[in-house]
Structure 1
Amino acid sequence: MSRGDYGWLDGEGGPLQPIRRDFDLPDYPGEARLIAVQAAPSVAETEFLLSLAERAGSPIAGVVGWIDLAEDGAGETLRRLAANPAFKGVRPMLQDIAQTDWLLEEACPEALDTLQELGLRFDALVTERHLPMLEAFAAARPDLPLVVDHAAKPQPGARPGWEEGMAALARLPHVRCKLSGLLTELSEAERADPLPALQAILERLLDWFGPERLMWGSDWPVLTLAASWQTWRELTDRLLAPLSERERRAILHDNAAGFYGVAP
């Protein structure tokens, strides 16, 4: 927090107050190896996560960081970071950028070319408004592995725009989707019994992406604003219970390992 780059956490009090503190590796409740994903738009955040991955016995198998893709010299920054084998990709915080088409209009093509050249991945932190733009971006770059974070944060109620946009993205074979961040987007009424709402979302995601292109994520510690890590894992087990053991393992572990290029 002392770095001052978690702008979305600004302001004392309010609904985000429970996570307005530093989190470190011993705080993470899971036992499996993990991919750590940036939560601040700074290279310092990326370097911090890489330093955690370098600790002896660290569970971090890979880091998805941040760079300014619109900045001159972004390609050089990518090359420097990619010298660390734990650096696996980037996530521009598109949901926080007012300009919906920023990725198409402002991001440097040379930086995006460098992403592909280095074999890095692209995490898309988007909401429903970005889906047509993201489809155009992904279609233009079929060699850049892309994953939609938090399933583009479907909102409670009818979601025709979300369904249309996600179905279009799923038709692109190099696009994946994360089964994560869903609990925090549910309404208060849905959170009282989240399984029906989550099942409805998962049914659509399985129709579009299949179990081979979905990957589980904790969204921890933001998750804790809605539920504990253990609650989300237990809900996940119930959601995936109808699938085969191979399909469950793919969603929970293997798809992410394959996408980010780490050992299973």
Structure 2
Amino acid sequence: MRIIDAQIHLWAGPDAPPHHTRAPFTIDDALAAMNEAGIDRAVNCPAVWDADANAYAALAATDHPDRFATMAWFPLGPGGDRSLVESAMSAPGAVGLRFLLVDPADVARAADGGLDWLWRAADDRELPVALMVLPDDLPVIGTLAARFPRMRLTVDHLGALPWLRLPEAMAHLAALLDLARHPNVAVKATGIPGMATDPFPFPSTHDTLRRVVDAYGPDRVFWGTDITRMPCTWAECVTAFTEHLPWLTGRDLELVMGDAAAAWLRWP
């Protein structure tokens, strides 16, 4: 079974936020940990707190194209145009785009058409675009999915905020499940141990996971970790899915653990 982590952050500089490991998480760190845990590939979302993270992502993908791909990003300030998309996607290893849509000004632009240049460029290229949004803003993703049906949208971390625990962390579950009606919306099952209220194998999360997989299907749910903020090892993040979800087996398990993400991102 091919195992692909749908979201990690690589960075070499200082100043990581407090909910992540404060020390850098370098290419060599990631490779060593991935080899130990049996992770075949990882999708690197360049750390927004490190100004050099995009260049570092290109280095990772250039040196290890069989291990790392990149969800590129750029600032969403006023005055952007599709040349930013073309530039980002020309970087080595870029398979899509990822943005934090949490600044109220950015959310407002997304809602009123001020970012249509971005969504239209992604739609024209049929790009995957991952979004981290505040739970109350999940309906914005549905609006974008309907307006730009060739853009493939992915909701980060099941839409949960990284500092919340269950049940508060998934109070928005109904809104997340409603987005499943859009065939161009998928979800990352990332950061799951971080929302648990119990130790490994985190049974408090199992009902939520099953409801999400039932709604989206295994071809639109992508296992991953956001490993630098997990309260457990990478291997435990793997086995929490592969050995402790008796309803997720066979081809469905293979899809969730990596094959679905590879197909969605068109990562050969």
What TM-score bracket applies, with the shorter chain setting the length? 0.7 to 0.9
Q: Report Cα offsets for 1:163-203 as digits up to 9, x if no partner.
A: 221121001011111111122123xxx13355321111111
How far apart, in 2, do the equivalents of 1:56 and 1:134 lie? Answer: 32
Unmatched tracts of structure 1, length 5 or more = 10-14
How far apart, in 2, do the equivalents of 1:98 and 1:252 lie? Answer: 34
CA contact (8 A) 1:122 1:145 kept: yes
> 163, 171, 190: which one pairs with 2:173?
163
Which residue of structure 2 lines up, in the alignment, with residue 237 of structure 1?
A: 242
1:31-110 superposed matches below 5 A: 31-40=39-48, 44-55=52-63, 59-60=67-68, 62-84=69-91, 86-95=93-102, 97-99=103-105, 100-105=107-112, 107-110=114-117
- Relative CO higher for 1 or 2, CA cutoff 8 Å, sep ≥ 6? 2
Which residue of structure 2 lines up, in the alignment, with residue 12 of structure 1?
A: none
SS at 1:173 equivalent: coil
Which residue of structure 2 lines up, in the alignment, with residue 124 of structure 1?
A: 131
> 187, 195, 198: which one pairs with 1:185?
195
Which residue of structure 2 lines up, in the alignment, with residue 246 of structure 1?
A: 251
SS at 2:172 equivalent: helix
How far apart, in 2, do the equivalents of 1:46 and 1:105 lie? Answer: 29
CA contact (8 A) 1:25 1:52 kept: yes
- Deviation of 1:85 (Å): 5.2
- Deviation of 1:235 (Å): 0.9
SS at 2:129 equivalent: strand
SS at 1:122 equivalent: strand
- Deviation of 1:89 (Å): 1.6
Which residue of structure 2 lines up, in the alignment, with residue 23 of structure 1?
A: 25
Please give the TM-score of this superposition, normalised by the length of structure 2: 0.81
SS at 2:187 equivalent: strand
> Quick check: 1:176 aligned with 2:181?
no
How far apart, in 2, do the equivalents of 1:196 and 1:127 lie? Answer: 25
Q: Which moved more, 1:197-206 or 1:119-128?
A: 119-128
SS at 1:221 equivalent: helix
How far apart, in 2, do the equivalents of 1:117 and 1:25 lie? Answer: 32
CA contact (8 A) 1:82 1:88 kept: yes
Q: Which moved more, 1:98-107 or 1:78-87?
A: 98-107
Please give the TM-score of this superposition, normalised by the length of structure 1: 0.82
Q: Supply the AA of the counterpart residue of 2:267.
A: V
CA contact (8 A) 1:139 1:172 kept: yes
Unmatched tracts of structure 2, length 5 or more = 1-10
CA contact (8 A) 1:211 1:247 kept: yes
SS at 1:92 equivalent: strand
Q: Give the direction of change, closer, same or farther, for the CA distance of 1:20–1:249 in structure 2 (3 Å limit).
A: same
> Quick check: 1:217 aligned with 2:224?
yes
> Quick check: 1:255 aligned with 2:260?
yes
Q: Supply the AA of the counterpart residue of 1:132.
A: P
Moved over 3 A (4+): 1-4, 41-44, 98-102, 158-161
CA contact (8 A) 2:201 2:244 kept: no
Q: Give the direction of change, closer, same or farther, for the CA distance of 1:249–1:220 in structure 2 (3 Å limit).
A: same
Q: Report Cα offsets for 1:114-153 as digits up to 9, x if no partner.
A: 1222332110112321212222222221110011111111
Give the share of equivalent positions with the same residue, in percent: 20
